[in-house]
A and B are shown apart, each in its own frame.
Chain A
Amino acid sequence: MTELSNSAQTPTLRRPFSVRTQPGFATIAMVCFFLLYAPLLPLVVYSFNSGTSIAFWEGFSFRWYVAAWDNEFVQDATIRSVVVATSASFTATCLATMAALGTTRTRPYRGLTAIYAMINQPLMVPEIVTAVALLILFATIKAVTNYHGLAYLIIAHTAFCIPFAYMPIRARLEGMDLSLETAAADLYATPWKTFRRVTLPLVWPGVLAGLMLAFVISLDDVVITEFVKSAGQDTLPTYMLGQLRRAITPEVHAISTVLLAVSVAMVTIFFFLNRKMQ
């Protein structure tokens, strides 16, 4: 009965509401994409400019890439950026994994919502406020210990990376069937073995996503780094910011283009890794 009446209906009547069919959808989408990607195009193009101008095209060359590569400030900043981003994203991902387990694999307890809010707090608090707060805190510690190393930057980056690493891991854990862990316990797996053999392999894509997100976020940070870094501790973004204050050359374009390529590569790798694991 129901099948008959269904097939008798014209398909257009049954089609669910879809934004795509609304008038103007295509135009708005095109405008959005344009705003997102159009500014990147001149950046990439002028990074290959053979002249010193960022407005007049004088021919194709890798000149600015070579210049950036040979610039020891850039080398220095790049190494520092990678060290900070790697340490911070690893530490943040470990902490975020534990936090995600603690908020999804326990009986609901009092204050759970407050804990969610606290973990996500760095997303809500203006970055400049965190930066000033860290500046003051670290200044005190620096005065007391006389230590001026990279640890401050790594700790600061770890702190603001945690919510970014936390989100995909928690999403993955919440999407996981709890009865799998029950089944593992039923099959003689101790809690640790259950975690190693069942929970971890299944949240792994979430952990990788969290790690990459944290890495990119750390690599990109300016505000907090600018406040927290000691003298001579430029990361790539703060170095570029410093350059802009002087004369802008296509060298900055070249560095930006490389950063862009790195993040596109990471997102792509992650996408394929994730697909393979499904």
Chain B
Amino acid sequence: MGMGGMSTRKDSPAAVEANGVSKIFGDGSDKVVALDDVSVTIKQNEFFTLLGPSGCGKTTLLRLIAGFDHPNNGNILLEGDDISGLPPYQRQVNTVFQNYALFPHMTVAGNIAFGLEMLDKPRNEIDATVANMLKLVRMEELRDRQTSQISGGQQQRVALARALAPHPKVLLLDEPLSALDLKLRKEMQIELKRLQNETGITFIFVTHDQEEALTMSDRIAVMSNGNILQIGSPREIYDHPAERFVANFIGETNFLTADLVLAKNKAGKIKLSSGKTIAATLPDNHAANGKVTAVVRPEHARIVKPGTSAALEGRLDNIVYFGTDTHYHVKLGAEGDFIVRMQNSRDDAGKFAAGSKVGIAIDSNAAQVLRD
């Protein structure tokens, strides 16, 4: 797991720290454990993403941090202070809601000023901050518009500006881009990153879109069923998934059964069904040997001629051309399909024919052993 020692630095406390947080809805037969003993530390100035399928508890965790709900167990610290008992209006945390929740009876500027007015800031300071925010989200011309008279993307910007204006310690964003079309979504992804850089505010961002998570985040927490399965940088999560669920949820991947023959800290050697032995990365505290499942990303393998450099051999079933790259589906006998994705170059055409016997070479250190 990617939780380094940085987060425990004493001089600057973590932006948010959740300790053993549980949230249970309902009781008896319709009891739902939305969060099951979740602990996570989010560093200052971090773009932290909660990623997981629908119903895994992402919104619930955000609502607990914002104070809209209260945990059944555990506590939540904001910059080192326990805020578990505080109502939402006493927490220096702001939220960008999925449906924006802009006040329909106020103008764009009125919405942005709202938080500052509630904090009883002096008028001139409010005006200056609102002007700043309008500039930050590039909405100066629309300051006096009613919020019902602006587009979805513009509403999104106003929601962002409104939440950023009081300069919260942490900004919570619950799938803020899911209502936008693809093009606008890409634009707003870049915009969000820029805003985070310029304001230096910690962002906790919720999405169930793995690509969005990989491109935007400093670190990602992958959630499933009320648990955080793995926390790490996009690279760590993608290249070294620790659990079957993570490997499956993020990107495409190949699963191989193998024997762990050597384990030394995180480095190991595994013997594949073909009899070949390759190097593999192990999850933390993995048992020394036995049957394991390893994963290899399709782009971390190459199709080669059968022979010494091939870790696996099989029959080339299907070749799917995608323009920039080609997917090769190789039948590995008992283990099923193995997919290889290779960049296309000019002289590739017809090198391997469907139906022929081929070998699969695996890049060094591309194999990752799962914890299960």
Given contacts A186-B94, A190-B89, A201-B105, contact A177 B115 (CB under 8 A): no
Which residues of chain B from 101 to 126 have a CB within 8 Å of any chain A CB? Answer: 101-105, 114-115, 118-119
Are A186 and B105 within 8 A (Cβ)? no
Question: Nearest Cβ in chain B — how far from A72, in angstroms?
Answer: 47
Report if B234 contacts A (CB, 8 A).
no
B101 touches A185 (CB 8 A): no
Residue A187 lies at the interface, judged by CB distance under 8 Å to chain B: yes
Once A180-B103, A202-B104 are accepted as A-B contacts, the answer to whether A185 and B97 lie under 8 Å apart by CB is no
Interfacial chain B residues near A198, Cβ < 8 Å: 103
Tell me how many residues of A have a C-beta within 8 Å of chain B. 17
The answer to the question of A193 belonging to the interface, with a C-beta cut-off of 8 Å to chain B, is yes
| Contact A179-B99, Cβ < 8 Å, known A187-B118, A187-B162, A188-B118 | yes
Please give, as numbers and ranges, the residues of chain B lying within 8 Å of A75 by CB-CB distance: none
B166 proximal to A (CB < 8 A): yes
Taking a contact as CB atoms under 8 Å apart, the answer to whether A187 and B105 are in contact is no
Known: A188-B89, A190-B89. A183 touches B118 (CB 8 A): no
Please pick, from B87, B93, B95, B105, the residue contacting A183 in the complex, using a CB distance under 8 A. B95
A197 surroundings in chain B (CB, below 8 A): 114
Interface: B321 (CB within 8 A): no
Q: Which residue of B lies closest to A194 (CB)?
A: B89
Verify if B66 is at the interface (C-beta below 8 Å from A): yes
Q: Which residues of B contact A182 (CB under 8 A)?
A: 68, 88, 97, 101
Determine whether A267 belongs to the interface, using a CB cutoff of 8 Å to chain B. no
| A188 adjacent to B97 (CB under 8 Å) | no
Q: Is the CB of B99 within 8 A of A187?
A: no
Q: Is the CB of B88 within 8 A of A186?
A: yes
- How far is it, in angstroms, between the C-alpha of A187 and the C-alpha of B172 when the chains are bound? 12
Residue of B nearest to A179 (CB): B101
Are A183 and B97 closer than 8 Å at their CB atoms?
A: yes
Which residue of chain A lies nearest to B117 when distances are taken between CB atoms in the complex? A197
Cβ of A177 and Cβ of B94 under 8 Å apart? no
Chain B residues whose CB sits within 8 angstroms of the CB of A183 once the complex forms? 95, 97, 101-103
B153 to chain A minimum Cβ distance, whole angstroms, is: 19
13 residue pairs from A and B, CB less than 8 Å apart: A177-B99, A179-B101, A182-B68, A183-B103, A185-B67, A186-B66, A186-B89, A186-B95, A187-B115, A188-B89, A188-B118, A190-B89, A202-B105
Known: A182-B97, A186-B89, A186-B94. 19 other contacts (CB 8 A): A177-B101, A179-B99, A179-B101, A180-B103, A180-B104, A182-B88, A184-B118, A185-B87, A185-B89, A186-B68, A186-B88, A186-B93, A186-B163, A187-B89, A187-B115, A188-B90, A188-B119, A198-B103, A202-B105
